[in-house]
C-alpha cells in the first residue's frame, strides 16, 4: 500500500518539473508604451494578433491577465483578443520615485490547453498633469533695516511630481524695488532659488514687504504654483525724537490751582520698541525758579503747576525741555517753552437787597416798586464791570435808579389765581474772562382780591325726578367753583324766587347754602305737575360779593301709580252690574261696553281688557282695546239663564295696575219694549222679580230724571258754562285732556271742579250719572241716546265708583 502511494507522488513531481520546463521554454516578453491618464476602455493593442493566437479559441482556452497589488489596470477581451484599460493609470502613483528613468508595469497573461504564459511590459509615459507646489504657502523673513545690499536669503523650493521637461523649469518674483531672486540647479536637476536684497530697507518708510514667488514647469501647456513671502523689517535706532513745535508760548491764568495742567508737550520717534520710548527733562538752561514753580512729568511730558502762580510776582517763565529715547545709542531732541501769566478775574460780584415789599395785592399797579437792590465787584477794569438781569418769563423788570442801585418793578398785571407766588432770582455777572456771577432769590407773595365770579360747570341743568318722591330727597348737587381764596372763595347758594300758580319755589325746593345740594320739599305728582324751571344763584363772600346763576329744569317722571278707573258700565253700589237681555239676541249684538280711564302718562295709561271669568266662553267675546262685549252666537235652550262675566281693565305700567267689574246677565223669554219707550232707572236697582212693579217704577223714574235734567241745565246756564250741543247718533265715549281718545265724547269744565259723566249702557235705555273727579283728571263723559233726539240727563246724587 505504501509502495503505491510513493509511486503516485513521484509521478506528480515529475509532471510538475516538466510543466515548469515547458512554461520556461514557451514564455516570451511583449513590450507596449502608453501615456498615463488614458480613459478607461482605451485599447492598447491586439494582444492575440501580436502573439499569433487564434481569437476563436481564447474563450475556450481561458485566457486571463494577472492583477498587480490588488489592482487590475488592464484586461484582455476574450472575444477580440484586444488589450484594453480598465482603470485609470497614474504614473506618479505607480512609480513613486523620480530616479527611475522609465516607469514599467509588468503583467503575466496565461492560457490553457495547452498551458502557455506570456510576459507583458507596459511602459507608462509621463504627461504634464501636475502643477508645481510649495511645501509652505507662506514664508516669513525678518530682515533688519541695517542689512547691507546684496545679502542673500534662502527660500523653500517648489516640487513637481512630473519628470523631464514636465518638472520645474524656472521661478519668478513679483515686482519689488528692494528684492530679486537667483535660480540655481542641483545635481539631480532640481531648481531652487535665493532672495537677494537689492536696495537698503527703511522700516520707517515701509515696515512690511509682501512678495509673491511663482514656480513654472516646462510642460505644454505650462503649469505653475505660488507662495507668499512676507518680509518684516526690523527696527534700528536711527531716528532722533522730534517735538511737534520747536517753541511753545502758553498763557496761564494766575491763581491756577496746584496740580493743574499747564500744557502737555509731545515728541515722537519714528523708531519702534525701546527705540521709540521717550523720557522728558529740563535742560541746564531752565532756571531754578521755573523748576520750583512748574513740574515736568518725564513719562508723558505734562507740565503742571507746582506752586501758586501770582501775576504780580512773575509774568513770564522760560524753560527748555529735552526728549531722549531709550535705544542702545540714545538720541534726543529739544524745544523751548514760554509761559505767560495773565491776570485773573478772581473776585465775585456781590448783590444786596436793600428793601422788599412782600406780600402785595394781586391788583398792584404796573410800574410799582417792589424791591431795591445794590451790586458791587472788587475787581477793576472789565473784571469789575457788572451786568444785572432777571428771567424774561417773569412779569417784572429792573431799572437802574443810581450808580450800582436798581429798582425791581412790576411790568405786567399780576393774577394770583394763575401764579400765587413768585421766586424772583436776580443774577449779577461781571465782564471778566471767564465771567463770575452771583445771584439772590427773593420770594414775592400775592394777596387775593375778589376778582373772580363763581362758575358752575354747566349753564343749564336738567334733573329728572321720579314722582312720588319722598319729601327731603336729594335731587342733585349744584356746585360752583371760585378760584379766589378765603372769604372770597366761600360760596352761598340760594334759589331765585319764582311763583308758579301762587306757589313759591322755596316751598317746593330747598338748597343747602353751603354745598349746593338741591332737595325736594314735597312729593310731586306727575298727573298734577310735570316740570319746573327756575334759577339758582351762587354768591361769594367777598367785598363786594360776586355771583352767577344757573338754570335748573326739573322734569317729573311718571310712575304707574294710578289704577285704571272703570267708568262704564256704571255701578251704583259695589262692582256688580246686572243686566237683562232677550234670549233672541242675534249674533254680534253689543251687550255691554267696558270703559276705563287712567290718569298716568300715555305709556302707563294704555288700557287693555280681558275676561277674568266667563260662564260660557263660546257665547261672549271681549275686544281687548275698546272693551265691547258682544255675542258670539245666538242663545240656545241649553244655555243657562244666568251668565256672569268678570272683566279686568289693565294698564301698561310696570308693574301693571288693574280694576275689575262683574256683569251678571239674565236672559228673559218675553220681548222687551224698544229702547225709546223704556224707562231709565239707575243701574243696579233692577232687583225686583215682578215685571209689572218694575215697569211702574221705571215710568216714575223717567219723570223724576226729566225734572232733574231741567234743573241741572238751569244751574249750568247760571254759572255761564257753555252748554253742550247735541251730537249726532253715536256710541258712548270719553275724551282725556291728553288728546288720547278712548271713544267719542264731549269735554265739559267749570272753575269749581271737573265733572265726569259716566256712561251706563243698559238694555233699558241710557242713564247719565254726575260724579266729581279729582282736580287734574279733567275727564268728562256725556251721554247720547241711540235715537236722534236730545240728550236726557238725570239729576241723581253724585257718587264714586268702586274699583278693584
Q: Among 17-26, 46-55, 177-186, 634-643, which is the least confidently predicted range?
A: 17-26
| Fold adopted by 242-342 | Immunoglobulin-like (2.60.40)
What is the predicted pLDDT for the residue at 793? 31
Whether 188 and 168 have beta carbons less than 8 Å apart is answered as no
Query: Which fold would CATH assign to domain 460-557?
Result: Immunoglobulin-like (2.60.40)
**pLDDT of 780:** 34
pLDDT at 208 over 80: yes
Q: Note the pLDDT tens digit of each residue in 650-666.
A: 888 888 888 888 888 88
Q: In this structure, how many other beta carbons lie within 10 angstroms of the beta carbon of residue 538?
A: 25
Q: Is the pTM of this model over 0.85?
A: no
Question: Is the Cβ–Cβ distance between 393 and 423 less than 8 Å?
Answer: no
Q: Is residue 261 scored above 90 in pLDDT?
A: yes
Nearest to 494 by CA among 448, 544, 444, 545: 545
Banded pLDDT at 294 (limits 50, 70, 90):
very high
The pLDDT value given to residue 69: 62
CA within 13 Å, CB half, 754: 17
| CATH code of the domain occupying 30-124 | 2.60.40.60
Task: Tell me, yes or no, if the two domains 30-124 and 460-557 fold the same way.
Answer: yes
pLDDT at 462 over 90: yes
Residue 566 has pLDDT above 50, yes or no: yes
User: For residue 616, what are the CA distances in angstroms to 97, 169, 487, 546, 640?
Assistant: 137, 139, 81, 78, 9
The rounded mean pLDDT for the chain is: 77
Give the DSSP H or E segment for 94: helix 91-94
In this predicted structure, the answer to whether residue 8 has a pLDDT above a threshold of 60 is no
* Residue 67 pLDDT level (bands cut at 50, 70, 90): low
The CA distances from residue 309 to 289, 303, 436, in Å, are: 11, 14, 20
CB 768 within 8 A of CB 799: no
**For 388-395, what is the mean pLDDT?**
90
Q: Which helix (H) or strand (E) holds 592?
A: strand 590-593
Contact 52, 145 (CB under 8 A): no
Q: Which residue is associated with the grid cell 321720579?
A: 466
Q: What percent of the chain lies above the pLDDT cut of 70?
A: 80
Position 737 scores a pLDDT of 31
Average pLDDT over residues 459-470: 90
CB distance 736 to 773 below 8 Å: no
Predicted local confidence at residue 565, as pLDDT: 84
The pLDDT score that the predictor gives to residue 100 is 52
pLDDT band at 729 (very low <50, low <70, confident <90, very high): very low
| Count of Cβ atoms closer than 10 Å to residue 562 Cβ | 21
Q: What is the pLDDT of residue 668?
A: 85
Mean local confidence (pLDDT), 546-550: 91
Cell numbers that stand for 324 in this block: 531722549
- Among 211-220, 675-684, 740-749, which stretch is predicted with the lowest mean pLDDT? 740-749
What fold characterizes domain 565-668?
Answer: Immunoglobulin-like (2.60.40)
pLDDT, tens only, 128-167: 778 888 888 898 988 888 888 888 888 888 887 777 778 8
How much is the average pLDDT of 623-634?
88
Q: What is the dihedral of CA 91, 93, 99, 104, to 10 degrees?
A: -50
- In the numeric block, the cell 492560457 is attached to 111
Domain boundaries, the chain: 30-124, 133-234, 242-342, 350-413+421-427, 460-557, 565-668
- Cα 696 from Cα 351, distance rounded (Å): 126
Radius of gyration of the chain (CA): 70
Cell digits of residue 308: 501758586
Give the CA count within 13 Å in the CB-facing half-sphere of 172. 9
Q: Comparing C-alpha atoms, which of 628, 591, 626 is closest to residue 607?
A: 626
pLDDT above 60 for 19: no
Does residue 591 register a pLDDT over 80? Answer: yes
Question: Grid coordinates in use for 97?
Answer: 520615485
- Lowest average pLDDT, out of 470-484, 548-562, 573-587, 748-762, goes to 748-762
C-alpha cell at 433: 474772562
Average pLDDT over residues 281-286: 90
| 594 to 105, 662, 742: CA distances (angstroms) | 138, 10, 11
Mean pLDDT, range 26-39, rounded to an integer: 76
pLDDT band at 572 (very low <50, low <70, confident <90, very high): low
Window from 37-46, 61-70, 793-802 with minimum mean pLDDT: 793-802
Of 25-29, 128-132, 154-158, 766-770, the range with the lowest mean pLDDT is 766-770
Could you tell me which CATH class the domain 350-413+421-427 is placed in? mainly beta
DSSP code string of 640-694: -SEEEEEEEEE-SSSS--EEEEEEEEEEESSPPPPGGGSPP--TT----S-HHHH
> Is the pLDDT at 757 greater than 80, yes or no?
no
The predicted structure's pLDDT at residue 38: 85
pLDDT higher than 60, residue 730? no
Q: Which CATH class is domain 133-234?
A: mainly beta
Amino acid at each position: 500500500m505504501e509502495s503505491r502511494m510513493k509511486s503516485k507522488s513521484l509521478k506528480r513531481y515529475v509532471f510538475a518539473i516538466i510543466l515548469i520546463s515547458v512554461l520556461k521554454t514557451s514564455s516570451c516578453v511583449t513590450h507596449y508604451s502608453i501615456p498615463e491618464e488614458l480613459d478607461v476602455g482605451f485599447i492598447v493593442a491586439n494582444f492575440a494578433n501580436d502573439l499569433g493566437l487564434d481569437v476563436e479559441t481564447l474563450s475556450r482556452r481561458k485566457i486571463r491577465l494577472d492583477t498587480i497589488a490588488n489592482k487590475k489596470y488592464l484586461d484582455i477581451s476574450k472575444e477580440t483578443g484586444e488589450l484594453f484599460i480598465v482603470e485609470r493609470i497614474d504614473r506618479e502613483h505607480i512609480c513613486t520615485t523620480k530616479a527611475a528613468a522609465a516607469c514599467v508595469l509588468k503583467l503575466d497573461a496565461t492560457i490553457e490547453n495547452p498551458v502557455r504564459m506570456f510576459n507583458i511590459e507596459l511602459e507608462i509615459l509621463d504627461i504634464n498633469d501636475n502643477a508645481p507646489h510649495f511645501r509652505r504657502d507662506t514664508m516669513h523673513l525678518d530682515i533688519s533695516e541695517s542689512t547691507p545690499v546684496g545679502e542673500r536669503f534662502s527660500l523653500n523650493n517648489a516640487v513637481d511630481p512630473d519628470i523631464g521637461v514636465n518638472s520645474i523649469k524656472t521661478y519668478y518674483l513679483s515686482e519689488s524695488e528692494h528684492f530679486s531672486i537667483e535660480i540655481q540647479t542641483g545635481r539631480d536637476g532640481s531648481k531652487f532659488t535665493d532672495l537677494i536684497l537689492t536696495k537698503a530697507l527703511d522700516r520707517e518708510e515701509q515696515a512690511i514687504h509682501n512678495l509673491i514667488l511663482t514656480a513654472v514647469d516646462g510642460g505644454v501647456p505650462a503649469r505653475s504654483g505660488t507662495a507668499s513671502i512676507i518680509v518684516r523689517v526690523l527696527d534700528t535706532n536711527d531716528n532722533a525724537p522730534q517735538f511737534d513745535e520747536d517753541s511753545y508760548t502758553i498763557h496761564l491764568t494766575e491763581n491756577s490751582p496746584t496740580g493743574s495742567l499747564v500744557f502737555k508737550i509731545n515728541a515722537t520717534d519714528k523708531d519702534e520698541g525701546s527705540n521709540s520710548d521717550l523720557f522728558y527733562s529740563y535742560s541746564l538752561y531752565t532756571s531754578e525758579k521755573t523748576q520750583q514753580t512748574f513740574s515736568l512729568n518725564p513719562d508723558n511730558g505734562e507740565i503742571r503747576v507746582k506752586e501758586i502762580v501770582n501775576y504780580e510776582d512773575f509774568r513770564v517763565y522760560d524753560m527748555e525741555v529735552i526728549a531722549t529715547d531709550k535705544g542702545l545709542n540714545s538720541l534726543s531732541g529739544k524745544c523751548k517753552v514760554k509761559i505767560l501769566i495773565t491776570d485773573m478775574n478772581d473776585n465775585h460780584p456781590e448783590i444786596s437787597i436793600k428793601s422788599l415789599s412782600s406780600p402785595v395785592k394781586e391788583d398792584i399797579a404796573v410800574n410799582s416798586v417792589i424791591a431795591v437792590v445794590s451790586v458791587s465787584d472788587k475787581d477793576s477794569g472789565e473784571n469789575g464791570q457788572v451786568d444785572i438781569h432777571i428771567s424774561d418769563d417773569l412779569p417784572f423788570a429792573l431799572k437802574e435808579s443810581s450808580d450800582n442801585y436798581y429798582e425791581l418793578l412790576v411790568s405786567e398785571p399780576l393774577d394770583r389765581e394763575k401764579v400765587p407766588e413768585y421766586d424772583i432770582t436776580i443774577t449779577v455777572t461781571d465782564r471778566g474772562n471767564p465771567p463770575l456771577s452771583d445771584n439772590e432769590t427773593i420770594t414775592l407773595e400775592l394777596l387775593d382780591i375778589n376778582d373772580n365770579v363763581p362758575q358752575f360747570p354747566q349753564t343749564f341743568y336738567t334733573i329728572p325726578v321720579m314722582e312720588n318722591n319722598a319729601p327731603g330727597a336729594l335731587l342733585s348737587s349744584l356746585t360752583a367753583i371760585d378760584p379766589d381764596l378765603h372769604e372770597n372763595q366761600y360760596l352761598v347758594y340760594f334759589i331765585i324766587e319764582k311763583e308758579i300758580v301762587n306757589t313759591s319755589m322755596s316751598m317746593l325746593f330747598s338748597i343747602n347754602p353751603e354745598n349746593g345740594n338741591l332737595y325736594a320739599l314735597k312729593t310731586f305728582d306727575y298727573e298734577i305737575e310735570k316740570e319746573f324751571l327756575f334759577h339758582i344763584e351762587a354768591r361769594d363772600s367777598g367785598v363786594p360779593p360776586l355771583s352767577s346763576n344757573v338754570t335748573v329744569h326739573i322734569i317729573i317722571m311718571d310712575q304707574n301709580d294710578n289704577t285704571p278707573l272703570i267708568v262704564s258700565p256704571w255701578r251704583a253700589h259695589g262692582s256688580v252690574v246686572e243686566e237683562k237681555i232677550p234670549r233672541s239676541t242675534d249674533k254680534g249684538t253689543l251687550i255691554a261696553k267696558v270703559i276705563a280711564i287712567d290718569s298716568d302718562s300715555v305709556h302707563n295709561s294704555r288700557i287693555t281688557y280681558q275676561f277674568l271669568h266667563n260662564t260660557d266662553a263660546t257665547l261672549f267675546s271681549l275686544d281687548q282695546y275698546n272693551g265691547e262685549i258682544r255675542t258670539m252666537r245666538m242663545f240656545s235652550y241649553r244655555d243657562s239663564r244666568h251668565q256672569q262675566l268678570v272683566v279686568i281693565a289693565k294698564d301698561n305700567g310696570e308693574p301693571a295696575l288693574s280694576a275689575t267689574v262683574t256683569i251678571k246677565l239674565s236672559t228673559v223669554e218675553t220681548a222687551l219694549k224698544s229702547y225709546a219707550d223704556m224707562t231709565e232707572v239707575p243701574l243696579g236697582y233692577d232687583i225686583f222679580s215682578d215685571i209689572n212693579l218694575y215697569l211702574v217704577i221705571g215710568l216714575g223714574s223717567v219723570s223724576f230724571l226729566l225734572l232733574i235734567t231741567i234743573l241741572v241745565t238751569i244751574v249750568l246756564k247760571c254759572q255761564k258754562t257753555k252748554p253742550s250741543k247735541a251730537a249726532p247718533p253715536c256710541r258712548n265715549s270719553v275724551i282725556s285732556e291728553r288728546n288720547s281718545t278712548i271713544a267719542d265724547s264731549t269735554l265739559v269744565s267749570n272753575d269749581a271742579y271737573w265733572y265726569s259723566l259716566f256712561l251706563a249702557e243698559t238694555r233699558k235705555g241710557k242713564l247719565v250719572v254726575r260724579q266729581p273727579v279729582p282736580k287734574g283728571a279733567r275727564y268728562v263723559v256725556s251721554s247720547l241716546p241711540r235715537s236722534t233726539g236730545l240728550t236726557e240727563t238725570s239729576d241723581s246724587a253724585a257718587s264714586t265708583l268702586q274699583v278693584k
